[in-house]
Amino acid sequence: MFHARNRAMALFGKSKSSIVKIAKKKLPDGLWTKCAECGHIIYNKALEESFKVCPQCDYHCVLTSQERVAQLLDPGTFAERDAELTPADPLSFHGPTSYRDRLKEAQHASGLSDACLTGTGTMGGRRLAFGVTDSRFFMGSMGSVVGERLTRLIEYATAEQLPLIIVSGSGGGARMHEGMYSLMQMAKTSAALQRFHDAKGLYISVLTDPTMAGVLASFAALGDVLIAEPKALIGFTGPRVIEQTLRQRLPEGFQRSEFLLEHGLLDKVVPRKHLRSTLMQLLSYLG
């Protein structure tokens, strides 16, 4: 009892700054994440076990391309394609920071050479072509390399008669830093998908938060089956811009997954924990 009292007196006798230093030492960084939607503090291990879905408000946190691969494909089966393709600066674009410098920053921060991964793998033992965009790299926007990688993936799926799944989380649309070279990717990916469709291929498009602009207006909306995660923002132009243009309030939940399912754009809204099993069922039924 005496020793416990002495320890308590020693603690409360310390200055406030000393107590804060002790608390910081006992709580290492990287253990907790604050939900971007509701502000709930989540233990990181619990967050990972729930596929990064907030247990308080069901907000689906953003996943990296590598996390998508790990969640959806059979372990160890993903084989990347066209990794040697790297972005150039065809317009010598300069803003407050040059495009070349911004590319280097994005590559260093994400560990990616550009905003998507493409390759092959298996899901439930079934081989397929798989692509995923990564919002850490210029908001997943579609530049020349993204369009070329996806087009080559679609053409490979056509030649090998593989089902195709592309997971889109591209809030940046077409990448303005590449001008017309970027916009051309909309037509290129769409034409490749038409040839894939003519060859009777199965394409499942998965839309995540956010999927916008030129990405939605091209390959993301052309799936035989369109699936979205809950509450994902999906549209061509953001709701704030539309409200400012029309000068009127938009309906509640406008451009969110549930709204678009109700109005016929989507086939299904699937929580992340059920996404892999749903895709496996679709491959079994339709593939």
The string of pLDDT tens digits covering residues 167-202 is 998 877 888 888 899 999 999 999 999 999 999 999
- If one looks up domain 62-286 in CATH, what number appears? 3.90.226.10
The half-sphere exposure of 54 on its side-chain side, counting CA atoms within 13 A, is 18
Asked if the model's pLDDT at residue 163 lies above 90, the reply is yes
How remote is the C-alpha of 210 from its chain's centroid? 8
Pairing of strands 234-235, 164-168: unpaired
The sign of the CA dihedral 135, 238, 176, 158 is positive
For residues 215 and 142, the answer to whether their CB atoms sit within 8 Å is yes
Q: State mean pLDDT over 278-285.
A: 94
214-235 residue pLDDT tens: 888 899 999 999 999 998 888 8
Report the chain's terminal Cα–Cα distance, integer Å.
Answer: 71
Extended strands (E) in the chain: 32-34, 41-43, 79-80, 116-123, 126-133, 164-168, 203-207, 211-212, 225-228, 234-235, 268-269
Q: Provide the percentage of residues in the chain whose pLDDT is more than 90.
A: 45
Q: Which residue has the higher pLDDT, 270 or 35?
A: 270
56-84 residue pLDDT tens: 676 677 788 899 999 999 999 999 999 99
The pLDDT of residue 15: 53
The domain spans of the chain are: 62-286
Which amino acid would we find at residue 257?
A: S
48-52, 85-89, 116-120, 267-271: lowest mean pLDDT where? 48-52
Which string of b and e fits 15-28 if b means at least 16 CB within 10 Å? eeeeeeeeeeeeee
For residues 183 and 212, the answer to whether their CB atoms sit within 8 Å is no
Which amino acid would we find at residue 94?
A: H
Select from 186, 131, 170 the least CA-distant residue to 154: 131
6-42 residue pLDDT tens: 544 454 555 555 544 444 445 456 787 777 667 778 7
Q: State mean pLDDT over 130-147.
A: 90
Asked if the model's pLDDT at residue 236 lies above 90, the reply is no
Q: State mean pLDDT over 96-116.
A: 89
What mean pLDDT, rounded, does the chain reach?
Answer: 84
Asked if the model's pLDDT at residue 158 lies above 50, the reply is yes
In which band, very low, low, confident or very high, does the pLDDT at 46 lie, cut at 50, 70 and 90? low
Residue 111's region, left for phi above 0, alpha for psi from -120 to 50, else beta, is left
Distance, in Å, from the CA atom of 268 to the CA atom of 232, rounded to the nearest integer, reads: 12
The sign of the CA dihedral 44, 48, 53, 56 is negative
Q: How many helices (H) and strands (E) does the chain have?
A: 11, 11
Select from 81, 154, 71 the least CA-distant residue to 118: 81
Hey, is 131 helix, strand or coil? Answer: strand
